[in-house]
Amino acid sequence: MKKCQCYIGCICAVIFLFCGCSWKSETERSAEKIQDGNITHLVMTYQTIDNSRLDGLDEVLNAVNEISREKIGVEIELKASSALTQFDDYPLWLNQGITIDLMILNYQNILNYIDQNLIYSLDELLENCGDGIMEIMEESGQNLCSGTIIDGNSYGIRIPAINSGSGCGLWIPKKYLEEIGFPYDEDHIYSMEEQDILFKRLKEKYPEKYPLGLVTSGNTFSAYTYFGCYVESLGSDISTGVLDENGKIVNFYETQQYTEYLEWMNKWYEAGYIYPDAAFTDSFNVELMKAGITMSVPTSSSPGMISEEYIGEEVVCLATKDVYVGVKGTLGAFWVVPKTSTNPEAAMKFLELMYTDEDIINLLAIGIEGRDYVFLDEEARIVAYPEGKDSSNVEYSNPLGLYGDQRKRYVFDSDKLRKEQEAYEKKVKKIGTEYESFVFSQNSLNVELMKVQEVLTLYLPILDCGCVDIESVYPEFIRELKATGVDTILEEKQLQFDEWKENVSE
């Protein structure tokens, strides 16, 4: 699935606070520091998706810089990249030495940047001037460095989530369920068998549509996460192995859970339930649903994940797995400071401002008050589009929730949404927190990890959507994983995990 497509409405980002401390770079930087009087210029990555509205971006940027120049003597310029091309753009830019002061890794594995020495460790800044971020961690109960701590060093900061739980489900226009008489219960977890019944009825009613809008093209991770039970990966990417019921580190892709998932996907693909171009399309799954080609989107079950404004009608979520909170892994969304930064101090100053300043957060998210939105209830942060405007013709809107503390973000007509989020929080089950102090050091496995990821990127898109013959392709997939060193990774993780358990029990 396109790497960011499941975050329409609200996906995560990360911020770091700066309090005026000094910074000494780890290496000599040849890039020239650009100064204009007392104003420091910075370059920050800026991501978009197909339905981002950017006609009014220049005015938004001017408003942001007016605030940041006055408060911290910093202004930014944006280096644009789509959420689809970021995976190729970032390594190219950094390896070419192009100046980037702040960079958002949007559902990328931060290990790729740590291992190549492309980003700074942030610990010195956090220790010297991170009181604010520590307060936010304490207040939110969320470790914002989780998933970025390697060999005792922190390299990125997450956003405080709007809700701390993570579940998955099928978002679908409510009218479809009503038309086929399919029962909807927001507290029910729908099994694969129940989803099968749903897809069968939808296909019979609408033979020209595809009931399951699964898109796997470009996937570097398995879409199993949207349908299957929780898998304990010990805070690491799933390709590094998972913990089975016997306390052993195993290859997830050889488990019964994964093979049963593949069987369902293959059955659904053959039945015409899954979009036939799922492994190769350039379209986002929400675009396909809005166009009436597909009928559902599998993604996070977090309230507001799919924008009803964008779809144009009421949508509901059929939960496919419990809402849980576990140890965060290295695959996610993180703000980082690249080694090509000309001024890490100023970069951190702007990150603090972007994190804490409500005006900047909402400028980057929804634009200019009066032009792009109006307040319905300013105290409750509830807004609406101006008369005659909507998500398709507003001057500016960037649905990616990558900029600032999203808990400070204005939301559209959200009284219902806020109540749904509160109810969602109550469903959260804590899983795997006993493993939070375990960190899998992967420095000695860079070659194996890179080769394994190449195999996953090649095979997962076609396996996970069911469009290939499992009996021939799946064994080939497993052979390729073993040939590239997946067993070496599992053995090393097992050794480290066993040593960690001994130390914890002492």
Phi-psi region at 372: left, alpha or beta (left = phi > 0; alpha = psi -120 to 50): alpha
d(C-alpha 81, C-alpha 92), whole Å: 12
**Nearest 5°: CA angle at 402, between 216 and 228?**
35
d(C-alpha 153, C-alpha 431), whole Å: 24
Q: Which residues contact 469 (CB under 8 A, 6 or more apart)?
A: none
Q: Among 18, 63, 4, which Cα is nearest to 366's?
A: 63
Residue 282 CA, distance from chain mean position: 19
**Nearest 5°: CA angle at 130, between 129 and 131?**
100
Cβ neighbours of 2 (radius 10 Å): 23
d(C-alpha 335, C-alpha 329), whole Å: 15
Give counts: helices (H), strands (E), the chain. 16, 18
Q: Among 123, 186, 185, which Cα is nearest to 155's?
A: 123
d(C-alpha 197, C-alpha 212), whole Å: 12
d(C-alpha 250, C-alpha 487), whole Å: 9
Cβ neighbours of 318 (radius 10 Å): 23
Of the CA atoms within 13 Å of residue 229, those in its CB half-sphere come to 8
d(C-alpha 126, C-alpha 265), whole Å: 45
CATH topology of domain 5-162+330-408: D-Maltodextrin-Binding Protein; domain 2 (3.40.190)
The helix (run of H) or strand (run of E) holding residue 322 is strand 315-325
Phi-psi region at 502: left, alpha or beta (left = phi > 0; alpha = psi -120 to 50): alpha
Q: Which residues contact 317 (CB under 8 A, 6 or more apart)?
A: 169, 170, 171, 172, 186, 301, 305, 306
Taking a C-beta distance cutoff of 8 angstroms, is the pair 496, 437 a contact? no
Length of the chain: 506
Residue 165 backbone phi and psi in degrees, to 5: -90, 155
Cβ neighbours of 314 (radius 10 Å): 9
What's the pLDDT score for residue 461? 96
10-residue mean pLDDT profile of the chain (506 residues): values are 37 32 35 57 91 91 97 94 89 95 89 88 76 72 76 82 73 96 94 97 97 92 88 83 92 95 97 96 90 94 82 92 78 89 89 89 94 90 90 86 81 75 78 77 83 94 96 97 95 94 81
Phi-psi region at 492: left, alpha or beta (left = phi > 0; alpha = psi -120 to 50): alpha
| Torsion sign, CA atoms 214, 192, 319, 219 | negative
The helix (run of H) or strand (run of E) holding residue 472 is helix 470-483
Taking a C-beta distance cutoff of 8 angstroms, is the pair 235, 327 a contact? yes
Of the CA atoms within 13 Å of residue 249, those in its CB half-sphere come to 23
Taking the CA atoms of the chain, what radius of gyration do you get in angstroms?
23
pTM higher than 0.85 for the full model?
Answer: no
Cα separations (Å) of 41 from 32, 78, 347? 11, 11, 9
Strand partners, 250: 242
The β-bridge relationship of strands 315-325 and 429-430 is parallel
Taking a C-beta distance cutoff of 8 angstroms, is the pair 419, 163 a contact? no
Tokens of 401: 């929730």
Given strand 74-82, what is the order of strands in its sheet?
35-36, 39-48, 74-82
d(C-alpha 119, C-alpha 340), whole Å: 8
d(C-alpha 200, C-alpha 202), whole Å: 6
